[in-house]
Chain A
């Protein structure tokens, strides 16, 4: 085999092993959800850190997304004399797509990288080995607790982001577009169907899973001291973002397949 072919084979095998290890970690963490220890104190701590800690950036993201959507939407709708329907545009696009995706990307930047760097630091300073030596399963103690916190808090944060985005759109609609509040809110709620809400809540659950598990995986796989910690943090952000966008497409397609 030539050197190039050998390198390619090694690279492909490397990716296969990454997928295999990631799958094993996900399976072990999911299996751990059903058995003790529960680490309730750690879960509450993570709920606070992931949920309350991310509130500010999620509110800002939602607010500016809604405001920009109102401005851009009005430009597109104005030629048809349909500016009054801008809230329909904001409501559906925020609940179905922008709210979940943008909130998840922001949370991946804040929470996912935080999980990766924390676990990576523990790995390179032998704290993960120390946990195992003390008879603690690091997957139960670290991965399970963070997964539970992400699965609970990311959908909640997304609902908040959605609400704030529609509110931001209303601010622009009132202040710049002179749209009556009654019409704004009526059209906004009329445009959001139960199906949109289901999709808008299913996505953040999947994104929460991705953020937690990619962060944990990057952390546990860290090698090479402080340089490795930096690489793991970057890797978790990049991988989470790609997986969030790809799974968003797949979930949307899946929902469309079942009218």
Chain B
């Protein structure tokens, strides 16, 4: 991990969807090469943070910086340039149904039109080999299992050459073997100096892959520290999330989210 200036910064970011507050005064930094995990319950605003970083949503207040450049008020066309440095693995992989696995993985390279067809093919197969799916190149997304789709999503992110990868619940809905496989892929990417932000509510995955963990509830950041610091935290709201069985039956510290129709996370 690099100790230089942050790759991504959110400063006092707030967002309302309709009349509902989704995020309130959220500030966080992600250093280059760092793997930061955003933990939190459903509807807590985790996915929204990823979407804000990608410029898919615009904050109502605060500022967002990517690579030192403020993106808060950039036009869609200028955002496209920023997005070239990032790639997102969506919760349900969001593979393009009409394209084969090879075309999905090489999509950004096709769009950029900077490489020959053979070079793009090689890059796509290389990425698929990294996730152990090189034999699925000519399959359609509908022919893949959930775990395979997620891994193809990771391969797509890798092939794009992005230096920052954003993961939205990469292990949600996967069996333990696939969960372990995806976690290991994320760990392997740490050696490639890639900055990663992983949104999850899976504690095991978080502890396994995180350099630092941010915990969020009802759109507010409760904690930002290392996995060990999180384990040692005695904040009731964090204890409730980490070990809900240990709390008294009528205990409720984390307020019920006032967000009901946020997409996910």
Give me the interface of A with B, judged by CB distance under 8 Å: 37, 121-122, 125-127, 129-137
Contact = CB atoms under 8 A, between A and B. Distances in A.
A133 B112 CA distance: 13
Contacts of B112: 135
Nearest to B90: A126
Interface in B97-121: 97, 107-108, 111-112
A133 B56 contact: yes
B57 to A, nearest CB: 10
A181 B111 CA distance: 56
Interface in B18-47: none
Contacts of B96: 122, 127, 130-131
B48 interface: no
A135 B94 contact: no
Given A127-B96, A129-B56, A136 B90 contact: no
Contact of A130 (B81, B84, B86, B94): B94
B111 A134 contact: yes
B1 interface: no
A127 B54 contact: no
Given A132-B56, A132-B83, A137 B76 contact: yes
A102 to B, nearest CB: 30
Nearest to A132: B56
Residue from A125, A132, A134 whose CB has the most chain B CB atoms within 10 Å: A134
B80 A137 contact: yes
6 closest Cβ contacts across the A-B interface? A130-B94, A126-B94, A135-B80, A133-B88, A135-B83, A126-B90
Contact of A126 (B83, B92, B107): B92
Residue from A133, A135, A136 whose CB has the most chain B CB atoms within 10 Å: A133
B91 interface: yes
Contacts of B160: 134
B87 interface: yes
B76 A130 contact: no
Contacts of B97: 121-122, 125, 127
Contacts of A133: 54, 56, 83, 86-88, 90
Contacts of B86: 133
Given A132-B83, A135-B83, A126 B91 contact: yes
A121 B98 CA distance: 12
A159 B86 CA distance: 48
B54 A136 contact: no
A255 to B, nearest CB: 39
Nearest to B55: A132
Contacts of A131: 96
Given A130-B95, A134-B108, A135-B111, 9 more contacts: A37-B111, A122-B96, A130-B90, A130-B94, A132-B83, A133-B90, A135-B80, A137-B76, A137-B80
Given A135-B108, A136-B111, A127 B94 contact: yes
23 contacts: A37-B111, A126-B90, A126-B91, A127-B94, A127-B95, A129-B51, A129-B56, A129-B90, A129-B94, A130-B95, A130-B96, A133-B56, A133-B83, A133-B87, A134-B83, A134-B87, A134-B107, A135-B80, A135-B83, A135-B84, A135-B111, A137-B76, A137-B80
Nearest to A141: B111
Contacts of B108: 134-135
Contacts of A125: 92, 94, 97
Nearest to A134: B108
Interface string B43-66: 000000001001010000000000
Residue from A122, A131, A132, A136 whose CB has the most chain B CB atoms within 10 Å: A132
Given A135-B108, A136-B111, A130 B80 contact: no
Contacts of B91: 126
Residue from A37, A126, A135 whose CB has the most chain B CB atoms within 10 Å: A135
A57 B160 CA distance: 42
B133 to A, nearest CB: 18
A130 B88 contact: yes
A131 to B, nearest CB: 8
Contacts of B81: 135
B164 to A, nearest CB: 11
Contacts of A127: 94-97
Nearest to B83: A135
B146 to A, nearest CB: 13
